[in-house]
Amino acid sequence: MIDVQNDFCPGGALAVTDGDAVVEPINRLVARSPFVIATRDWHPPDHGSFADNGGRWPVHCVQDTEGAALHVGVDSGQVDVIVDKGQARDLEGYSGFEGTDLERLLHERDVDTVHVAGLALDYCVKATALDAKRAGFDVIVHRDATRAVDVEPGDGDRAAQELRAAGVQVVD
């Protein structure tokens, strides 16, 4: 479960259109999953991706704020581990694998297939899925349980095409 946080849902600082629409399909997925990891953007207040610091994004998902919390609709009782990412000021932190122990956690549990859903398809979902594939996992992205930022119209569709070209299975 990638970054289903308040700041990426309607009313949040970096709201993805219909971002909260991923909650129900994700809850269905996690109910059937033996091991669930949720990632969170967990930025320091001076993160380099923030426009105030020369980056491209508004201030979002600052550590220990309401915006960084998982969306209230997420069945957090099904989450086994939360992996915080994006903590290094100078790294984007799009991928759940960047600077985290996610790969180790998956290997420790003999995971061979990773199901990916969450926000946003064209950034953190894509980066996490591609890194999972590079790490040797079979990867399935659940398109109905993602939404794209679509900074440029069609970014989400292009992300899905890039994922498929890399050998990631994208399903509805």
Query: pLDDT, tens digit, for every residue of 74-125?
Result: 999 999 999 999 999 999 999 999 999 999 999 999 999 999 999 999 999 9
Residue 167 has a pLDDT of 98
Architecture (CATH level 2) of domain 6-171: 3-Layer(aba) Sandwich (3.40)
- 8 Å CB contact between 140 and 169: yes
- 8 Å CB contact between 35 and 1: no
Residue 73's pLDDT band (boundaries 50, 70, 90)? very high
Residues acting as catalytic residues:
3, 85, 124
Residue 69 has a pLDDT of 98
DSSP three-state, residue 164:
helix
Paired tokens of 125: 């979902």
Q: First and final CA of the chain: distance in angstroms?
A: 16
Residue 163 has a pLDDT of 98
Query: pLDDT, tens digit, for every residue of 11-43?
Result: 999 999 999 999 999 999 999 999 999 999 999
Query: pLDDT, tens digit, for every residue of 147-171?
Result: 999 999 999 999 999 999 999 999 9
Q: pTM for the full model?
A: 0.97
Domain boundaries, the chain: 6-171
